[in-house]
Amino acid sequence: MLKASNCYRNNRVGGLLLILWVSASLCRLQAQNSPFKPHYVNMTEVGGLFGRVVYDVRWSAPLVQEVQNRLSLTIQTFNGVQLKPRLAVGATVGVDWYKTALLTPIAAGVRYDLVSTPKNVHLFGTLDAGYGFNWLQVDGTGYDTKGGMMLNPGLGLKFAFKSGSAMLLSLTYKRQEAKVTKPLGWQEVEKWEDRTYNRMALRLGFMF
Amino acid sequence: MKKTLLLSLFSVVFLQWSCTDQCTETRRYKRFTPVTVSLAEMRQSVRTETARDLISPGKIYTKGNYLLINELKEGLHVVDNSNPSAPKMVSFIKIPGNGDMAIRGNILYADSYADLVAFDISNPLDVREVGREKEVFLNGQFDGAWWSLNKSTGAINDQRVDIVTESVKVNCEDGNNGIWGGRAVFDMAFQNSASSGSSANPAAQGQAGSMARFALYDKYLYTVGQNDMQLFDISVPQKPAFSSKINLGWGIETIFPYRDKLFIGSTTGMFIYDNKNPEKPEQLSVFQHAMSCDPVAVTDNRAYVTLRSGTQCNRGLNQLDVVDITDLRAPRLLKSYPMQNPHGLGVDYPNVYVCEGIHGLKTLNVANDFDVKQLQHLTGMDAYDVIPLSNKTLLMIGKDGLYQFDISNPSNLRQLSKIPVKRVAI
C-alpha cells in the first residue's frame, strides 16, 4: 500500500517537472528565418496503454497481494493549429479500451518541438489534460461507470517527410480516473470503486 | 542539445517507473453481531420516557389525534397530531423488540420480541403496562436481523446491526463482481415495517399503514408472522389471550382487514380470508403472482397490490396490480402498471398513494382500472408507507422522517410538516 502510494506521488511530481520544463523551453523559443504562417495540424495515433495492477486477494489472512499486467488499446487524434514553427495547440479526442471501461477522453493539448536534427527528426513534448467521458461505455446490470480527469504528458519523436507530413512515435504517461458504482450484494448498503489508471502509453501515428 | 535530449529521456523513463493502476473498492454493509436479551430484562425495561428523536423509524399507526411511530426494536414515539402542520413529540414508550402496534379504545397492543403487551394509553405521558401474553411469538426479524426465542434459557437470541465500511484494493477490471457477488438488492431495512390502510375499521380503533402485521377485528387481534397468523382474544381489552394459530405457508408480510375480510400479503400472493366467524377465519382464495414483496390495499371491489424487488423478494418485479375482487373466491388481475420500487400504499378512492422507496411518493388516479393516471410524483424523499386520513391528510413515513401532506388537491400535495430523522454518524 505504502509502496504504491509513493509511486503514485513520484508520477505526479515527475509530471509536474515535465510541465515546468516544457514551459521553460517555450521561453527559449528562437526566431525562425523563413516566414511562418499558422496552419491546421492533425496528429492521429494508435497504441497501447501498458501497466500493471497490485491487488488484495480477498479473504486472504494474512493479506496476500497479487500482480497482473495490463495492456489496453488506445486511439487518439489531435487537431489543432501550428501556431509557431515549433508549437501546436488544439484539442485531443480519443478512445481508450480498458477491460471494463470504454472511455472517451476529450482534452486540451499542446505539442512542442524540443530538439531538431538536420535529418528532420524532431523530439517533441506533448501534453493533454481533460476529462474522460463514459459515452461509449455500456454497463452490466447494476453497474454504473463514470469517467474522470485525464492527464497525459510525455515525449515523442517526429520523422518528417518532405511532403510536410510526418511519422510519430511517442512515449507518454497517462493518468485516467473513473468511478464505478456496483450492484449490492447480501446486506450491502452501498458499494463503489474508485479507479485510477496509471499507464505508459506507447503510440505510433501520423501527422499532416 | 545532447543534454536536453538526455534529460527528457530520463524524465520519461522516470515517469514510467511504476505505472500501476490504483483501484479501491469500498462497500458499506450490515454486520450482524449476536446479542442475547434475557426475558426478565426485556420485561423490566418497559417504561414511558421523555420524547426523543426519530432515528430508525418503522411503521406508523394513528388513532384520534395521536400518532405512533415505531422506532425499530426500541419502542414507540407518541406524537400529538391535533395540528398536522405542527406535530408535537409527546413521549416515548420504551418497548424492547417492538415493531408492530394496534390500538382499540385506550388500549395499545404492541409486540415486545416474544411477548404481546397491552398498555393503557389514556394518559400518553404515563403509559402503563396492563397486560402481557408471554412467549407467543417465536421469531421475527428487524432490519434483516432475525431473532428467536430460546425457551430453555429464557432469552431472546437477537442480532445487532452495524453498518461497516470496508475498502480493498481490487484489480480494476473486474466488471462482473465475483466474491462479494450476488445480485440481491438491499431492501431489508423496512421489511418489518410495511403499512396498509385499514379504512373500514370501527371508529374506536386506530388506523395502520399497509405494511402492518397487526389487525383488529371484532373481539380479536390478528397478528401475522413469517408463516402463520395468530388470533388473540381481546374481549377483556386489558388481557389479550392467545386463542388460535392458523398456518399460512411462507413469506407472510402484511395483513389488511377490510370489512369482514382479511387480505394477507405474502411473497407469493395475496390470501383472502373470510372473517364472518372472527374466531375461525376461512380461506376463500389466493391470488398468485410472481415472487415479490407485496403490500395490499383494498377499497370496495378492488384490491391494489404492489410488487417490488428486494433482498427477500429477489427476482421480483416492480409493479402495481389492480385486482378485481368482486368475486372473492376468484380474484382477477385487471391490469399491471410498472413502478420503480413500490413499498406501502394507501387508498383514498379514486386516488392511490404509492411509496416508491428512494424514488419518492406517487399519486395515482385509479378511477379507470385500465387507465391509471399518475397525477404527481414527489421526489427527493424516501417513502416507505402511507396512511390517508379522512380529514384529507396523508401521513407518510420514510427513512428520512415522517411527512404530512394536505391531499385536498391530489395532483398537488402540500407538505404540512416533517418530523426529521436524526442522522447518526456511522
Domain CATH number, residue B338: 2.130.10.10
pLDDT at B182: 36
Domain count, chain A: 1
> What part of B 305-324 touches A (C-beta under 8 Å)?
311
Q: What digits encode the pLDDT tens for the residues A160-185?
A: 998 889 999 999 999 999 999 988 87
> How many whole angstroms separate alpha carbon B4 and alpha carbon B104?
90
Whether ipTM > 0.95 holds is no
**How far does the CA of residue A69 sit from the closest CA of chain B (Å)?**
9
Q: What digits encode the pLDDT tens for the residues B139-182?
A: 888 877 889 999 888 899 998 888 889 888 888 876 544 444 33
Residues linked to residue A130 through DSSP beta bridges, in sequence order: A107, A150
- Chain A residues with CB under 8 Å of B146 CB are none
- Indicate which of B12, B141, B312 best probes the interface with A, i.e. most A CBs within 10 Å of its own CB: B12
Residue A26 placed within a domain: no
- Indicate which of A114, A141, A187 best probes the interface with B, i.e. most B CBs within 10 Å of its own CB: A187
Q: pLDDT confidence of A17, banded at 50, 70, 90?
A: low
Residue B22 placed within a domain: no
Residue B98 placed within a domain: yes
Find the residue in A nearest to B181 (Cα).
Answer: A185
Residue A2 placed within a domain: no
pLDDT at B195: 32
pLDDT at B256: 86
Residue A107 placed within a domain: yes
Residue A110 placed within a domain: yes
- Chain B residues with CB under 8 Å of A114 CB are 4, 8
Q: What digits encode the pLDDT tens for the residues B320-356?
A: 888 888 888 888 888 888 888 888 888 888 899 999 8
Domain count, chain B: 1
Task: Provide, rounded to the nearest whole percent, the portion of chain B with pLDDT above 70.
Answer: 85
Residue A84 placed within a domain: yes
> How many whole angstroms separate alpha carbon B240 and alpha carbon B229?
15
What is the SS3 assignment for chain B? CHHHHHHHHHHHHHHHHHCEEEEEEEEEEEEEEEEEEEHHHHHHCCEEEECCCECCEEEEEEECCEEEEEECCCEEEEEECCCCCCCEEEEEEECCCCCCEEEECCEEEEEECCEEEEEECCCCCCCEEEEEECCCCCEEEECCEEEEEECCCCEEEEEEEEEEEEEEECCCCCCCCCCCCCCCCCCHHHCCCCEECCCCCCCCECEECECCCEEEECCEEEEECCCEEEEEECCCCCCCEEEEEEECCCCEEEEEEECCEEEEEECCEEEEEECCCCCCCEEEEEEECCCCECCEEEECCEEEEEEECCCCCCCCCCEEEEEECCCCCCCEEEEEEECCCCCCEEEECCEEEEECECCCEEEEECCCCCCCEEEEEECCCCECEEEECCCCEEEEEECCEEEEEECCCCCCCEEEEEEEECCCCC
- Chain A residues with CB under 8 Å of B159 CB are none
pLDDT at B14: 63
Asked if B68 and B212 touch (Cβ cutoff 8 Å), the reply is no
Q: pLDDT confidence of B190, banded at 50, 70, 90?
A: very low
Tell me which of B418 and B290 has the higher pLDDT: B418
Residue A23 placed within a domain: no
Q: pLDDT confidence of B5, banded at 50, 70, 90?
A: low
**How far does the CA of residue A121 sit from the closest CA of chain B (Å)?**
12
Q: pLDDT confidence of B292, banded at 50, 70, 90?
A: low
- Chain B residues with CB under 8 Å of A66 CB are 171
pLDDT at B254: 85
Nearest Cβ partner for B17 among A10, A114, A154: A10
Q: What digits encode the pLDDT tens for the residues A179-196?
A: 999 888 777 888 999 999
Residue A52 placed within a domain: yes
Q: What digits encode the pLDDT tens for the residues B312-328?
A: 555 557 888 888 888 88
Asked if B240 and B233 touch (Cβ cutoff 8 Å), the reply is yes
Residue A6 placed within a domain: no
Q: pLDDT confidence of A12, banded at 50, 70, 90?
A: low
Residue B20 placed within a domain: no
Burial class (CB within 10 angstroms; exposed 0-12, middle 13-18, buried 19+) of B33: exposed
Q: How many CA atoms lie within 13 A of B271 on its CB side?
A: 26
Domain membership of residue A201 as a residue range: 38-207
Global pTM reads: 0.69
CATH number at residue A76: 2.40.160.20
Q: Once rounded to an integer, what is the mean pLDDT over residues B242-256?
A: 84
Q: Once rounded to an integer, what is the mean pLDDT over residues B11-23?
A: 72
pLDDT at A128: 96
Instruction: Determine whether the interchain pair B184/A114 forms a contact, defined as Cβ–Cβ distance below 8 Å.
Output: no
Domain membership of residue B87 as a residue range: 37-140+186-420
Average pLDDT, chain B: 82
Instruction: Determine whether the interchain pair B15/A173 forms a contact, defined as Cβ–Cβ distance below 8 Å.
Output: yes
Q: What digits encode the pLDDT tens for the residues B194-211?
A: 333 333 334 467 788 888
